[in-house]
């Protein structure tokens, strides 16, 4: 996961930029959960590793320009395990790249919030940046895959000339089946069947979280 760090010298703090919310959602981090972040690599593109309560690790970034030989000579134990896992994720990402990609396939996930207006108008819009990145900017069909494995095909409609897309009839039933209520958010993961048919898989409902790193 490639994220931007913004430093505020007046506050002596560094904040993680856009992308951290999706990272927390994917790793099932909820508001109030304790977590530990360890610096495992320094340089122009530092690497942070998330340690869970059971000493599990999730790589925060998969740098493409890392020196594998020197990294392996410096790593030991858990650090080496993190490096190998990160490289494997990067390899799979390059092999499965289609239409658009980002570090560790971060842009495959999209978050929605069920608002009263969406329920009232029967219109649930997709983020413009997401549809453009994946070529979902033309009317067609898209499948919604539930946690129970049931797939529901709905229309992908164009709202206006600017290219804003929305789901057709059926998305409300999909939300109801997963217990999504008004003002709740949920995450869907995009993948392609036979590299031609888009599918959005339900991941989970999410809660907003905030993550701040103090500078040393």
Instruction: Inform me whether the pLDDT recorded for 23 exceeds 90.
Output: no
C-alpha span between 213 and 148 (Å, rounded): 38
pLDDT band (50, 70, 90) for residue 8: low
Residue 142 in this model has a pLDDT that exceeds 90: yes
Of residues 61 and 175, more confidence is placed in 175
d(CA 125, CA 156): 10
Q: What is the pLDDT of residues 90-124, one digit of tens each?
A: 544 443 443 333 333 457 899 999 999 999 999 99
Cα(138)–Cα(166) distance, integer angstroms: 11
Closest CA to 135 of 202, 95, 190: 190
Which pLDDT score is estimated for 189? Answer: 93
Per the model's pLDDT, the better-predicted residue between 106 and 61 turns out to be 106
Which domains, ranges and CATH numbers included, belong to the chain? 5-100 (no CATH), 103-206 (2.40.330.10)
How far is CA 207 from each of CA 47, 60, 71, rounded to the nearest angstrom?
25, 20, 36
Q: Are 202 and 144 in contact (CB under 8 A)?
A: yes
Read off the pLDDT of residues 173-182 as tens digits, 9 standing for 90 and up.
999 999 999 9
For residue 71, what is the enclosing H or E element?
helix 68-74
């Amino acid at each position: 996961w490639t994220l931007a760090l913004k430093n505020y010298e007046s506050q002596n703090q560094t904040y993680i930029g856009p992308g951290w919310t999706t990272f927390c959602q994917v790793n099932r981090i909820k508001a109030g959960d304790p977590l530990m972040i360890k610096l495992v690599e320094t340089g122009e593109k530092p690497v942070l590793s998330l340690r869970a309560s059971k000493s599990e690790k999730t790589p925060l970034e998969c740098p493409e320009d890392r020196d594998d030989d020197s990294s392996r000579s410096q790593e030991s134990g858990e650090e080496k395990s993190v490096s190998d896992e990160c490289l494997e994720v990067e390899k799979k990402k390059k092999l499965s790249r289609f239409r658009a990609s980002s570090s560790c396939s971060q842009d495959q996930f999209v978050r929605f919030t069920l608002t009263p207006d969406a329920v009232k108008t029967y219109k649930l819009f997709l983020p413009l940046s997401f549809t453009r990145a994946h070529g979902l900017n033309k009317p067609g069909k898209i499948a919604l895959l539930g946690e129970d494995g049931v797939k529901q095909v709905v229309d992908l409609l164009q709202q206006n000339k600017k290219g804003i897309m929305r789901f057709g009839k059926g998305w409300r039933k999909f939300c109801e089946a997963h217990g999504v209520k008004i003002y709740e958010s949920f995450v869907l993961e995009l993948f392609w069947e036979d590299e031609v048919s888009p599918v959005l898989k339900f991941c989970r409902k999410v809660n907003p979280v905030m993550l701040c790193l103090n500078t040393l």
